[in-house]
Structure 1
Amino acid sequence: MADFLPLLIELGTEELPPKALPELAQAFHDGVLKALAARRIEVKADAGDQPARALYTPRRLASFLPAVAVQQPVQHSEVLGPYLNIGLDASGNPTPALLGFAQKSGLDWQKLERVTDAKGMRFVARSSRPGAATIDLLGEIVNEAVKGLPIPKPMRWGNRDIAFVRPAHWLVILFGREAAKAEVLGLKADRMSRGHRFHHDKGVWLNEAGEYLQALREAKVLADPRERRERVRAEIAAAAREAGGTARVLPELLEEVNCLVEWPKAILCSFEAGFLRVPQEALISTMESNQKFFPVLDTDGKLSEKFIGIANLESKDPAQIRLGYERVIRPRFADAQFFFDEDLKQGLASMAEGLKTVTYQAKLGSVADKAARVAHLAEIVALKAGANADHARVAALLGKADLQSRMVNEFPELQGIAGRYYAAAAKQPADVAAAIDEAYQPRFAGDAIAPSKLGQVLAIAERLDTLAGGFAAGLKPTGNKDPFALRRNALGLARTIIEAGLDLDLVVLLDAAAKSLPAGLTLDTAELQEFILDRLRGYYADQGVPSVQFDAVADVRPASLLDFDRRLKAIAEFAKLREASSLAAANKRIRNILKKVETAIPASVDASKLVEPAEQSLHGALATALVDTDPLLAKRDYVGTLKRLAQLQGPVDNFFERTMVMADDAALRDNRLALLKQVADRFAAVAAVEQLSAS
């Protein structure tokens, strides 16, 4: 008999929830592995041509393991008994306590072993027994895996006192060629799986665990989600080629469709070309979100009148399925067309007027009030960023108008997108229309910032007002609560400024936002600046920037976030230099010395009071470095500045080795402190390099 055999476990159910299915299947597979490990049953994940993995379809959860040990290893046990002073009497005879322990252990008391611990010597019963056969343990293993599944709302069915995510109908547990004798969820395990509901509506006899995938494949079920996903992808691509275009395939939609079918087949469909005058985003949203269809784009990336549905069978009459898909989508498209036409009749300016009656937030007024504040800030930002201030103001005043539209009411995800269409229809300048849409970027983690200058201006102004208003109105995030998405807005603001390369003074902008707030509201701009910088910490951490380098720049609080980014890149280059560690430690030492000084430190160094060669050398080296780095700092060449300052390592180290800073002579002491302060201040013109010191 082989030492290892393949194991297949399949639990058949009614249709499982598609969005939860991958996680549920993986949890089931992991639960089986955990239960096997708890019993010390060895599993080889890479044995054979089929790797260990979770398998699933809409009607089944399965776990396949190519090599599982047929038996537990020898089971050793050790039970501690009474100490000698309790187990033996004064004559060395066993006490009732020891005899009871020996009887319970099934051993003669004289065969008990002895061990010593911190309290002394005691009796111990050691024994060994052969491990159990794995197949005899599979019932309890599967039951453990099922009980451990993350099911928030289990269902009950029939008159059974059993609950699961969906009613369960069959169970297969095959270990090699042998079917386990087990019961799970009221189902007795056997070797009979089931095929496709329509193509093979009968049992599928499995001779052995390893033939599972092929046997189901012959029964028109692709049980491997990877194989099924690739079939869906290939079917979509073939249908798109037939249509002369390219399918839009979102990964999350592909995964959801993959969890809805067992034998996928693409159906190429079409709709009336007249619907294409409706914003394509609305049509695409309807197809993807509501119907799980894949839109087909033309060679220019625009929506065509074709789309692709994925059927769960290979029909003899695909035309009937096509008619069904086309029939179900037409009323939704007609609704979108009606909303669009009615919105065009109303016009964006009229929608903007309607915002006066919509409350943004009790302390911050109406949405129209917010739009006015954003317009004011957009003008300020535009002038500093080199954009058209008049266009920025118009885009801001119209930016929220589409919230009053029928289209956004039906499709909330089209905020800004609908406004772009309506602005274009109203003959607004092209950059104004684009900015209304782009102001929402980045919409989500990983999304790009607004591509146009005016869009960037509007995105910044919008977030400035949201952050200032949120903090002033007492809506700061707490724990997991962030109703105004202030964390996301802070990161979006910072990313837009940095990635767009806009050299803006954040402190000035926050002050402007504070002055724009309704009367009676005050804003701690320093606190808000700190909040924004804190969002940047995670942003740079994701790019692999060490926290000590971030802290080194954050400590000097650059007013410009673009300048922050430049300094951070310079610190990264400085940290690579061989002099960096020594200079960081020296700067830390300087800072610690200066912190302890209670008297005023002279603003300049008196060269006549430099009596030691080491301090004279440092003074001369620093004077030259100051002259060399002044023009570099003026043009914000921080990399060049730090590389030049790195040449001070020798003079600084020599100074500390040969000079007593805190001399008894006050004049000498103050002069040396002034020299050290000049060294520290010049490094601090870039960053707090002492943060890089490990000591």
Structure 2
Amino acid sequence: MESQLFLEIGTEELPARFIQPAMDGLARLLTERLAELHLAHGEVHAVGTPRRVTVWIDDVSDRQEDREEVKVGPPARIAYDKEGNPSRAAQGFARTNGVEVGDLFETETPRGPYLAARIQHKGRATAELLAEELPAVIDAIPFKKSMRWGHETVAFGRPVRWICALYAGEAVTFEYGDVTSGTITYGHRVMAPAAIEVTDAQHYQAALYEAHVIVDPADRRAIIREELAGLAQQAGGRVVEDEELIHEVANLTEDPWGGLGSIDPENLKLPREVLISSMRKHQRYFALEDEGGALLPHFAVFNNTRVRDPAVVIYGNERVLKARLHDGTFFYAEDRKRPLGDRLDDLKRVTFLGELGKKGLGPTSYDRTQRLIALAERVAAIAYPEQSDVASQARRAAELSKTDLTTLMVGEFPDLQGTIGAYYARADGEPDAVATAIGEQYMPRGVDDDTASTPAGVCLALADKLEKIAVCFAVKLIPTGNKDPYGLRRAALGVLKTLEARDLDLNLRELVDASVATALTDALYAEGGAEDVAAIMGFFEARLRSELVGDHRSDIVDAVMAAGFDRPRHARLRVAALSDIAREADLAPIGEAFKRINNILQRNADQIPADAEFNAAHAQQEQERALGELAADIRGSMREHLGRGDYRDALSHLTRLQEPLEDFFNEVMVMADDETLRTNRLALLEGLRSMFEAVADVSRIHVGT
């Protein structure tokens, strides 16, 4: 018989960012534990609000099935003495598993015969098991930060106030901290705080809906979107798209309702980003705009408690925003009293990375600016050698790039670094290319963000990320595990994404070497620069590989990466080409053949002269002559294909080699006694390997279609 398992953990208000991970974590932990307990189940559902995390699972078996487990013990050779009596190892194994020595038996394993025991497990009732297991499941829910309360030893995202746990409609009773589970939940804290008896998940959802709690975040998001559309229409415009804010507001409310507030039109003179940041970051308001994209003097706000007079609440929100925008207006006016160029020396009092000083490197933002000036110019010379104005634009943008860190506006709105600098640079009369580059320097800020689009912006954005990676590696501040406090992984991905999005065929190693040379003193570069470059290239390799294996077979990605990835654009093209071919043909046999070639060549490297080439006149068997002729034909074609970057056609020759290679290895003895024959055959194999080594290490291909 199957029944529903229901578990709700009621808490003080959880931070919005805690709710989805807690829902996912609880669902995962419960399903994993049921699997470990050998309890079958049906569909899993997870919901949550600021005051509760809830999971229910349908059709959970009412008890475990009886089952037999075979446990393997010591090797049979040590299980009995010469007289056939059980050894201490056999006796201990039997005792540990609760069986008689006479019930032990031998079983064959890959390592030979071993002693084994059959252990009978009597199934237990699910309700009984749940009472024992649920406290540990709750305790294991992941939170970025947990807290303790009162005299409790347990820790949770916020203090736990109630637990509602049922199986088959009956209470599952246990204790977690100072809370005893039961069948009670509670409605909205203000509008319906009374206790509610729960019978199952369906009743739970309906009862809480009546008690002003919409338990499913997806339903709350739908309500918010619908009300936003109505409020925007009322204001005569549309919502500035912000899906992330919709998710956050949904996780700040249990019964969201929206209202329309007004903004003093005078405040619309502030930069658009300042207005949106003031509303979004601090107040969780939604900005509205007209069809042309200009901000409207209105905002949408959502609250969690319905009141008799919504206008009073809206007025309060307007006052809060008015004060914040007033501050913004003051900051803007004060900042504009000094041009950005006059703020350069102020950066000497702004620490960028204190650890750099311990190695004799400049630790301030002023020092960093000097490095960025040099590196941005170098990147411009590499990326845009025929556009001389780009270097001067990138240099000036780099010089001013960090000056907005000293402004009042960025002090209040740190998320607008670069954006404020771009506004102020334009107001100072800087060229548009320079101002735009300052605004693009941090792009892309995230996985889904756009990259810098102007040449000077691309150079500064690349320099900003490469310099940060280089200096952090110089002082060994390298990401480990899930710790990356300086965002180096994001920076590396930003470099790769920029190169791809802008279709820049640049040598990444050259860029990395330039960044390391810029970051270090000449003495430090001579001492350890090569080591830092190698480490950073390995760091980029891991990022690029992780990206590529999301869309391609891992063995194909590994084969291409092993042949080099200094030019990421070409590495991507080679992976795509090899993937196309692998979808049409099974390349595993070719991979095995090239693995054999590698092994032979590695074992006999000392027998292959540096200038050795295959000579058809020295071939004795038809198979080696045929393979040699085919290799010569392919070599000529590949030069042509690779010369124009046509990796698809170049790699397509792999399929032509399968049968000739198979015939060669079946009929030809590579390591012949005759030195001339042996050297000629090794040269043939070396020629085959070298033909493809710039494209892919074919020996790494091992998965068939």
Q: Which category describes the TM-score, using the shorter chain as reference length?
A: 0.7 to 0.9
Alignment match, 2:75: none
2: CA distance, partners of 1:277 / 1:24: 42
Match among 414, 422, 425 for residue 424 of structure 2: 422
Aligned: 1:668 with 2:665: no
Offset of residue 349 of structure 1? 1.0
2: CA distance, partners of 1:666 / 1:334: 89
Alignment match, 1:679: 688
Q: Which moved more, 1:186-195 or 1:482-491?
A: 186-195
The unaligned stretches of length 5 or more in structure 1 are 47-51, 79-111
TM-score, with length taken from structure 2: 0.79
Determine if contact 1:632/1:641 at 8 Å carries over to the other structure. Answer: yes
Alignment match, 1:331: 323
After superposition, give the CA deviation of every residue in 1:11-38 in whole Å (9 maximum; x if it has no partner): 6554444432444456567777788888
Q: Which SS does the other structure have where 1:53 is aligned?
A: strand
Alignment match, 2:522: 519
2: CA distance, partners of 1:179 / 1:534: 50
Determine if contact 1:199/1:220 at 8 Å carries over to the other structure. Answer: yes
Aligned: 1:381 with 2:394: no
Structure 1 residues 138-149: aligned runs within 5 Å: none
Structure 1 residues 605 and 266, CA, compared in 2 at 3 Å: closer, same or farther? same
Aligned: 1:564 with 2:571: yes
2: CA distance, partners of 1:597 / 1:163: 61
Determine if contact 2:594/2:698 at 8 Å carries over to the other structure. Answer: yes
2: CA distance, partners of 1:9 / 1:226: 19
Q: Which SS does the other structure have where 1:520 is aligned?
A: helix
Structure 1 residues 426 and 481, CA, compared in 2 at 3 Å: closer, same or farther? same
Determine if contact 1:156/1:164 at 8 Å carries over to the other structure. Answer: no
Structure 1 residues 430 and 609, CA, compared in 2 at 3 Å: closer, same or farther? same
Aligned: 1:534 with 2:542: yes
The unaligned stretches of length 5 or more in structure 2 are 70-98, 107-117
Match among 46, 50, 55 for residue 58 of structure 1: 50
Aligned: 1:612 with 2:604: no
Alignment length (residue pairs) = 648
Offset of residue 242 of structure 1? 1.6
Alignment match, 1:117: 104
Structure 1 residues 79-118: aligned runs within 5 Å: 116-118=103-105
Aligned: 1:232 with 2:224: yes
Supply the RMSD in Å over aligned alpha carbons.
4.1
Determine if contact 2:563/2:697 at 8 Å carries over to the other structure. Answer: yes
Offset of residue 656 of structure 1? 3.3
Match among 339, 344, 364 for residue 352 of structure 1: 344
Offset of residue 279 of structure 1? 2.5
1: CA distance, partners of 2:472 / 2:365: 14
After superposition, give the CA deviation of every residue in 1:255-285 in whole Å (9 maximum; x if it has no partner): 3322332322101112112222222223322
AA at the equivalent of 2:315: L
Q: Which moved more, 1:626-635 or 1:191-200?
A: 191-200
Match among 324, 332, 351 for residue 340 of structure 1: 332
Alignment match, 1:654: 663
Alignment match, 2:697: 688
Aligned: 1:598 with 2:606: yes
After superposition, give the CA deviation of every residue in 1:234-264 in whole Å (9 maximum; x if it has no partner): 2222212222233245444333322332322
Structure 1 residues 204 and 345, CA, compared in 2 at 3 Å: closer, same or farther? same
Structure 1 residues 202 and 677, CA, compared in 2 at 3 Å: closer, same or farther? closer
Offset of residue 376 of structure 1? 2.7
AA at the equivalent of 1:245: G
Determine if contact 1:43/1:65 at 8 Å carries over to the other structure. Answer: no
1: CA distance, partners of 2:397 / 2:571: 29
1: CA distance, partners of 2:152 / 2:643: 80
Match among 294, 298, 301 for residue 306 of structure 1: 298
Offset of residue 329 of structure 1? 1.5
Q: Which moved more, 1:19-28 or 1:181-190?
A: 181-190
1: CA distance, partners of 2:276 / 2:191: 32
Structure 1 residues 574 and 225, CA, compared in 2 at 3 Å: closer, same or farther? closer
Alignment match, 1:636: 645
Alignment match, 1:264: 256
Offset of residue 477 of structure 1? 4.0
Percent identity of the aligned residues? 34
TM-score, with length taken from structure 1: 0.80
Offset of residue 659 of structure 1? 3.0
Offset of residue 325 of structure 1? 0.7
After superposition, give the CA deviation of every residue in 1:404-445 in whole Å (9 maximum; x if it has no partner): 222222222212111111122122222222221222122233
Determine if contact 1:176/1:209 at 8 Å carries over to the other structure. Answer: no
Q: Which SS does the other structure have where 1:575 is aligned?
A: helix
Determine if contact 2:191/2:305 at 8 Å carries over to the other structure. Answer: yes
After superposition, give the CA deviation of every residue in 1:38-63 in whole Å (9 maximum; x if it has no partner): 888x78645xxxxx634444344555
Determine if contact 2:154/2:176 at 8 Å carries over to the other structure. Answer: no
User: Highest CA radius of gyration, 1 or 2?
Assistant: 1
Determine if contact 1:424/1:433 at 8 Å carries over to the other structure. Answer: yes
Aligned: 1:364 with 2:372: no
Q: Which moved more, 1:168-177 or 1:405-414?
A: 168-177
Aligned: 1:583 with 2:569: no
Alignment match, 2:93: none
2: CA distance, partners of 1:191 / 1:405: 56
Offset of residue 601 of structure 1? 4.5
2: CA distance, partners of 1:145 / 1:645: 53
Determine if contact 2:64/2:126 at 8 Å carries over to the other structure. Answer: no
